[in-house]
Amino acid sequence: MAKQTIFGRIAQLAKANINALIDQAEDPQLMLDQLVRDYTGSIQEAESAIAQTIGNLRLLEDDHREDVENAQEWGRKALAASSKADELRSSGDTAGADKFDALARVALTRQMQSEGEAKSAEPSIASQTEVVERLKTGLQKMREKLGELTAKRNELVARSKTVEAQSTVQDAIKSIDIMDPTSEVSRFEEKIRREEARVRGQEELAASSLDAQFENLEDIGEMTEVEARLAALKAGGSAPKAVTAG
């Protein structure tokens, strides 16, 4: 039951779609923080359970290796006892030969027992090995997912801080925006523009007055010439010649 629970948890966490979870979350950062904590805790539990499973597998392997070595050792003892029995029988010591043949039979029996125990343990070892590999693979996926979660969380935190900083900067810029018609700078600029316009108006008015004065001088010059010609008529009786431009 414990193994099934571990398998289920690993499978569920390893298949989690982070982007989908983020889209569904009201507060993605809080959700990712919680997921990181959940994954970290689950990984620690899984590591402990997998370590125990691996330990059990290693015990099975040790017992299997010991059974194999025992079978080999009993086989060597059986061979040695059988060889001694043959040697004694060839020398005429039948009783001694029978004794060593009996020892050979005992050794062979022990060899068969050890071989049977080793063989019976092999399916369990194979099954446990498969379980351990699956658990290791799942654990590795969980670790990768945790790395993905941590990176996503850090990215969101960084983006959040960037947005906050940008908002602060924009607020600061807005508060000193010289184009803002309500700002003191804008009102001061408008005052200067009006003063500049007033000065231009004065200059234009002054220029108009000067032109008028020159026009009056031209009119006076024409009247003076008229008077001169009239005086010449009275004095000489003939109209004075017009002065041509030099």
Q: Which one of 46-50, 117-121, 212-216 scores highest in mean pLDDT?
A: 117-121
Residue 181 CA to residue 176 CA, distance in Å, equals 11
Asked, for residue 9, whether it belongs to a domain, the answer is yes
Same domain, 184 and 232: yes
Asked, for residue 94, whether it belongs to a domain, the answer is no
pLDDT digits (tens, 9 = 90+) for 84-143: 999 999 999 999 999 999 999 999 999 999 999 999 999 999 999 998 998 888 888 888
Asked, for residue 187, whether it belongs to a domain, the answer is yes
pLDDT digits (tens, 9 = 90+) for 8-28: 655 555 555 555 655 565 666
Question: With 90 as the cut, is the pLDDT of residue 4 above it?
Answer: no
pLDDT digits (tens, 9 = 90+) for 145-170: 888 888 888 887 788 788 878 888 77
Element (H, E) at 218: helix 184-236
Local confidence band at 245 (pLDDT 50, 70, 90 cut-offs)? very low
Q: Which domain holds residue 209?
A: 180-236
| 217 C-beta neighbours (distance < 10 Å), count | 10
Residues contacting residue 77 through CB under 8 Å, at least 6 positions apart: 103, 104, 107
Q: What radius of gyration, in Å, describes the C-alpha atoms of the chain? A: 57
Asked, for residue 202, whether it belongs to a domain, the answer is yes
Query: What confidence score (pLDDT) does residue 23 get?
Result: 58
Query: What confidence score (pLDDT) does residue 1 get?
Result: 41
Same domain, 63 and 132: yes
Same domain, 30 and 141: yes
Same domain, 71 and 155: yes
When divided into structural domains, the chain yields a total of 2
Same domain, 18 and 131: yes
